[in-house]
Amino acid sequence: MLSVELHTHSELSHDGRDPVDLLLEQAAAVGLDAIAVTDHDEIDASLEAVRKAPEYGLVGIPGIEITSRAGHVLGLGIEEAIPPGLSFGETLDRIHEQGGIAIVPHPYQESRSGVMANITPEALATADAIEVYNSRLLTGRGNRQARTFATEYDLPMTAGSDAHISEMVGQAVTLIDTDERDVDAILDAVAAGRTEVAGKRTPWRISFRQAAGGAKRRVKSRLRELF
């Protein structure tokens, strides 16, 4: 079994803080086998992580968190950014055209662009996997709903820390049943449902610090645009 982090953000995300090297250092320090950097509508840092991951003894999985019209979708195993603003179905099609897999993160958290506020269960069931444990959910209700849905529709389940600062990398991981340490083997195992989820909730003080830091960075970015 490989221990894999499938949902992290670097400083390239509008609400991220840290460079790729800090994410990789943390992933190696907590004993992960692989990591995907999945910035919001940006892919350059993820590709950088893929190049650098072997230096840290890790497999780097290319990916991106796409803002579809319905909400957020993780595209893993792709190397070209998919534009935001497409429909949920077209977003999944674009991911598949590149040979990637589509995982829907925090689908029941409307305040964080969860898709279930805007699509039917039948549409959600067309995803390749559902993130059923996101360590940044405060009450756990959204995680329980996601797990219930994935169980009902017999969909593969994943977990992710949704880390926006390096300290939180590895807070929630997907345990993947494969002995092959390469991207294709990992993603094939996810799509086949050979996964287990493990993790713990991000401490509230850390979630608050992540959110506050993200808001501050967004304000600074907006001011730079204006002046």
3-state secondary structure at position 214: helix
Arithmetic mean of pLDDT over the chain? 91
Instruction: Give the pLDDT confidence score for residue 111 in this predicted structure.
Output: 80
For residues 11-29, give the mean pLDDT: 95
- pLDDT-derived band at 16, boundaries 50, 70, 90: confident
Predicted confidence (pLDDT) per residue in 128-137, tens digit: 999 999 998 7
Distance (Å, whole) CA 68 – CA 41: 10
pLDDT score, position 140: 85
Tell me how far apart the alpha carbons of residues 118 and 151 are, in angstroms, rounded to a whole number.
21
82 pLDDT higher than 90 = yes
**48-72: average pLDDT:** 98
CA-closest candidate to residue 164, choices 57, 17, 60: 17
Query: In b/e form, how buried is each residue of 13-38, taking b as 16+ CB within 10 angstroms?
Result: bbbbbbbbebbbebbbeeebbbbbbb
CA dist., res. 116 & res. 141, Å (int)? 14
* pLDDT, tens digit (0-9, with 9 covering 90-100), for 93-147: 999 999 999 999 999 998 889 999 999 999 999 999 999 999 987 678 999 999 9
| Cβ atoms 49, 35 nearer than 8 A | yes
Choose between 16 and 160: higher pLDDT.
Answer: 160
Q: Which amino acid is at 216?
A: K
The pTM assigned to this predicted structure is 0.90
